[in-house]
Amino acid sequence: MASQILIISTSNVQAATRSGDPTRKIELSPWDLQLLLVDPIQKGLLFRKPRANMNSIIHHLKASLSSTLDFFPPLAGRLTVDEHDDDTSSVSVLCNNSGALFVHAVAADLTISDILQPLYTPRIVHSFFPLNRVRNYEGTCKPLLGVQVTELRDSIFIGCTINHVVADGTSFWHFFNSWSEISRGSREPSKPPTLERWFLDGIDRRPVRIRLPKAKEKQKFGGYLNSRLHQERVFHFSKEKIAELKAKANAMVCSNMISSLQALLTHLWRSIVRTQGTEPEEEVIYRLLIGIRPRMRPPMPENYFGNAVQDGTVSMRAGELLAREGLGKAALEMNKMVALHTEEKLVSHVKSWVKNPRLLTEDGMAGNALVTSSSPRFDVYGNDFGWGKPVAVRSGAGNKTYGKITVFAGVAEGSIDVEVSLSSEILEAMGKDSEFMEAVSDFPLHSIIN
């Protein structure tokens, strides 16, 4: 797709009132710190073009963003590192209102159809996001939040990049939802964030100390997996098809425990393994990110602003996964693995991590496993900035490892969109896999562009 992004302006947006203590530090938890070496979160929304003048739209978005940052001061701050005598460091968020990056760009020859109609997501979508190729640890000098508003011929795309040390997917969409609320005229978010981090009383040494890699060591982390990434494809699943998969999976194992998402992800897993031609005796691995807010006792605040996810792994032999009853059996194993993440297990993980901190890397997060992030529970299509709801959601290049699977709510109620990052050969084979495609629905493009 021959097209060009023209940057119209870049600016720095600070919190509106600039109140509070500019020296305030928020200590980071182990769940935050482990993400220092990987990429920010990059998600964005495509909207039909508002009728208002674009300059007034940009001005309004900047003003509403500034007001929103009053309630999310970490996003206007920077990371700060304190070094200690024992060769360790502690990293915190300094809420100094240094500001967020705001970019106004134009891609005048692109349309909604150009973005949504191709079988594979056009690579130019990655250019709709700011702060590309910036790692989380660079938040000491780079903004922790970047917003890019890209004007297309018939639409606009609002791409948001948030440092992953500061926020997980739940917090990302909490901010996005709050910004759209304030853009529509609210004086404050309906769900103000809880900013203080969660720590184990009497166990964690605070601030948590870690050993940061030296500058030369940081350069070697990640990168090689992205060179294997050829395409991204979004598969759409209707509410009805998902219900059929769930019923089928549960019937296979005489259960009612398997969730809709577990059945759907297992269906996807089976297709990828099948099209890869994996040997029956080979071990295959699926890794999920599990939200832990409701799993603690008492539960963490629903509006906890930070990272509160733990990864879990399901592994089995390829032949077992692809057997006739494999959908039900593997989905049930996924269900059991999630259920094992009790408060006791999570606390044990934190204790172990504090004694021996381990920073995640891009290649370490993926390895030879499929990795799923995000959730269909996030309120994506409720983000109305004052000119209507979005028509689609897309993600940027951040953390796009080979085998990365990103899950979104679909535009139709109860539907789910799954973005799969694999080689073009595997994605093409999946498109020809009749068992898999039987559950895939057509994207309602006609209703969006008309």
Q: At what angle do helices 260-276 and 424-431 cross, to 10 degrees?
A: 110
Q: Which of 103, 99, 163, 101 is nearest to 128 (CA)?
A: 103
Active site residue 384: yes
Active site residue 201: no
CB burial string 137-168: b at 16+ within 10 A, e below: bbbeebbbbbbbbbbbeebbbbbbbbbbbbbb
CB 62 within 8 A of CB 102: yes
Q: Which of 277, 222, 286 is nearest to 425 (CA)?
A: 277
What Rg value do the Cα atoms of the chain yield, rounded?
A: 22
Candidate list 164, 174, 267, 341, residue with the active-site label: 164
Catalytic residues: 164, 384
